[in-house]
């Protein structure tokens, strides 16, 4: 039987040796902060379904709002995810591109907010759950922006299905905007 007489360094000594190389620690720390913050940004949208409440206003990722399967012929409001249904009647902030279909001049009474206008050109029009219909109150109009201008919209969101005379769902989300400003 062999006996070992070497003294093993304590945890404090091992840690002290690692701390001596502060440049390596600073380098590793820098990259942990950068990649950690990017990871947080990506994962926080997944965990919260793109909804972040700040100061009584729900900041909602417009793309996440429409990323669920929905049947526009037989769909029901219960097919909309629970987190999005909970936004009904709440103050919401969205960022997207404004598409005005039937208005001239600098204002509109109705328009659509979509997360990507390029998708229309290459993938067909957005699905009904991928649009938010902006409807101005009777006493106001909505400032109109070019469809390639990213806008911030704050207002009250309504989650309610609207159907045309053939029964097809034509709207899932409607919003009465309080403000529309370029991003």
Alpha-carbon distance of 177 to 134, in angstroms, equals 7
pTM above 0.85? no
Helix axes 11-20, 22-48, angle to 10 degrees: 100
SS3 112: strand
pLDDT band, very low/low/confident/very high, at 159 (cuts 50, 70, 90): very high
Q: Are 53 and 118 in contact (CB under 8 A)?
A: no
Instruction: Decide which of 97 and 22 is more confident.
Output: 97
pLDDT of amino acid 122: 64
Can you tell me the mean pLDDT for 62-86? 92
Residue 6 DSSP one-character state: P
| Radius of gyration of the CA atoms of the chain, in A | 25
Average pLDDT over residues 2-19: 71
pLDDT greater than 70 at residue 103 = no
**How far apart are the C-alpha atoms of 100 and 110, rounded to whole Å?**
7
pLDDT at 109: 81
From the list 110, 116, 111, 137, the residue with the least C-alpha distance to 65 is: 116
């Amino acid at each position: 039987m062999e006996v070992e007489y070497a003294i093993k360094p304590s945890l404090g000594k091992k840690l002290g040796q690692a701390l001596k190389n502060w440049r390596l620690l600073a380098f590793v720390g820098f990259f942990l902060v950068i990649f950690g913050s990017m990871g947080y940004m990506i994962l926080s949208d997944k965990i919260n379904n793109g909804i972040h409440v700040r100061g009584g206003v729900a900041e909602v990722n417009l793309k996440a709002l429409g990323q669920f399967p929905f049947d526009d012929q037989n769909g029901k409001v219960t097919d909309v995810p629970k987190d999005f249904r909970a936004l009904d009647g709440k103050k919401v902030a969205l960022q997207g591109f404004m598409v005005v279909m039937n208005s001239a001049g600098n204002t509109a009474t109705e328009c659509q907010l979509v997360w990507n206008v390029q998708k229309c050109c290459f993938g067909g029009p957005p699905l009904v759950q991928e649009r938010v219909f902006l409807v101005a109150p009777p006493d106001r109009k909505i400032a109109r922006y070019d469809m390639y201008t990213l806008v911030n919209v704050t207002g009250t969101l309504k989650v309610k299905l609207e159907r045309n005379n053939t029964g097809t769902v034509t709207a899932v989300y409607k919003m009465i905007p309080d403000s529309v400003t370029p991003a």
